[in-house]
Amino acid sequence: MFDPFDAARSRDAWDILRELRTEGPVATIAGGLRYVTRHAEARGVLRDTATFSNASGMKAPGVDIPLEDRLLGELDPPRHTAVRRVMVTAMTPKVVHAAEPFVTSTAEALLQSLPPDRFDLVASYTGVLPNRVTMYLLGFDPADSDQLARWAKELMESAFPALNRTERGVGFAAAFPEFAGYIDARIAERTAQLDAGENRDDVLARLVRLEVDDGPLPPEQLRALVRNLITGGLTTTTQLLGNLLFEIITRPDVERAIRADRALLGTAIEESLRLTPPVLFLARGCVRDTEIAGCPVQKGERVLIGAASANRDERVFELADEFQIDRANADQHLTFGYGTHVCPGATLARAVARIGVNAVLDHFGEGDLTLEPGFVFEQVPTYFEHGPRRLPVVRADA
């Protein structure tokens, strides 16, 4: 039976998902969970925050988290509305736009420093660039980048996203004390700088300054938001870059089309997000008896919204399994979610993907990069993500 929590089996499940989608809009899968297979119903569930709650979100049943320690995806309105306002006010499209020159120069510098003939694009590029960008936006010391990336990756690949604990303890601060301590120290530092009248306008300074309802965010909530920015954008954007570069390297027709008209890169990014979504599904807890397209769902049941399946819904996308560089409705995918919780980092992720891939196309000639002979696509070990663990490439003239 389909088990999306089994990292080994949740990957490349396109055929199973097609079968489930054909059978109906809601499937009962491993553990008795409900899995929403089709696009319209998935959007309906994501819209209905009164019935389908995030508070139980991605967590296993019975896992409860103190309000202040919750990520945005673990909050429901009205608290969610207030805290999210802080996040989107701190990281506006203008803030992202202002960071673009940094993204470009960092991408170019990473490519310049690659070994001449063979290298792993994930270890040296797709896995590095998004983190450097987050560090820059938050105003953190670039020298700490690799350490922070290690902490974030360790967290994403652990049982913490589902259980809110590791063998070291319960809750973020106990489960990852060094990571939490690092964030707390940066918040204290920035607060002191602002109190001393220093002119700082990075995303951390904006978060510290902003107020929710009756005052500034409590320190734990601020720490959760910073963690949200670090973990929310790091591996996801890495997977997007990796999936898209894999497509370009293995599909000469796609590479040629984008090189001939760089504007097509925008659609290629959407097609990559649609067909190989970095986030495969979202989770909600049903808080009152209801039905989805006639299928009864009871209070207390967990509902998974299958973006990976909805993105290939034949009712919305013609020849849904095909990567079409000129697909008119490619951006109707649900990879960034939909409605109240829709990803506030989407503008940033798209910008990093566009700049990151353009830099690769500028740095290498057409057909210059090929995957190492015998390469087998190996997935990242995070159960809800899709992306290559490694992309070992060889330069054509090597």
Binding site for ligand HEM (CB under 6 A): 54, 72-73, 84, 87, 228-229, 232-233, 236-237, 240, 278-279, 282, 335-337, 341, 343-345, 348-349
Q: Which is nearer to ligand HEM, 337 or 356 (CB)?
A: 337
Ranked by CB distance to ligand HEM, the top (closest) residue is: 345
Q: Which is nearer to ligand HEM, 65 or 349 (CB)?
A: 349
Q: Which is nearer to ligand HEM, 259 or 389 (CB)?
A: 389
What stretches of the chain adopt beta strand conformation (E)? 26-28, 34-36, 52-53, 118-120, 165-166, 169-170, 211-212, 215-216, 282-286, 290-292, 295-297, 302-305, 369-371, 392-395
Among 210, 243, 224, 215, CA closest to 88:
210
- Residue pointed to by tokens 């919305």: 316
Q: Minimum distance between the CB of residue 324 and ligand HEM, rounded to whole angstroms?
A: 20
Q: Minimum distance between the CB of residue 269 and ligand HEM, rounded to whole angstroms?
A: 9
Could you give the 3-state DSSP secondary structure of residue 52?
A: strand
Q: Minimum distance between the CB of residue 227 and ligand HEM, rounded to whole angstroms?
A: 9
Residue 374 DSSP symbol: T
Handedness of CA 362, 367, 373, 377 (dihedral sign): positive
Q: Which is nearer to ligand HEM, 279 or 355 (CB)?
A: 279
- Classify burial at 373, counting beta carbons within 10 Å of its beta carbon; exposed 0-12, middle 13-18, buried 19 or more: exposed
Q: Which is nearer to ligand HEM, 278 or 388 (CB)?
A: 278
Q: Minimum distance between the CB of residue 168 and ligand HEM, rounded to whole angstroms?
A: 24
Q: Minimum distance between the CB of residue 155 and ligand HEM, rounded to whole angstroms?
A: 14
Q: Which is nearer to ligand HEM, 221 or 228 (CB)?
A: 228
Rounded distance, CA 222 to CA 204, Å? 9
Q: Minimum distance between the CB of residue 312 and ligand HEM, rounded to whole angstroms?
A: 16
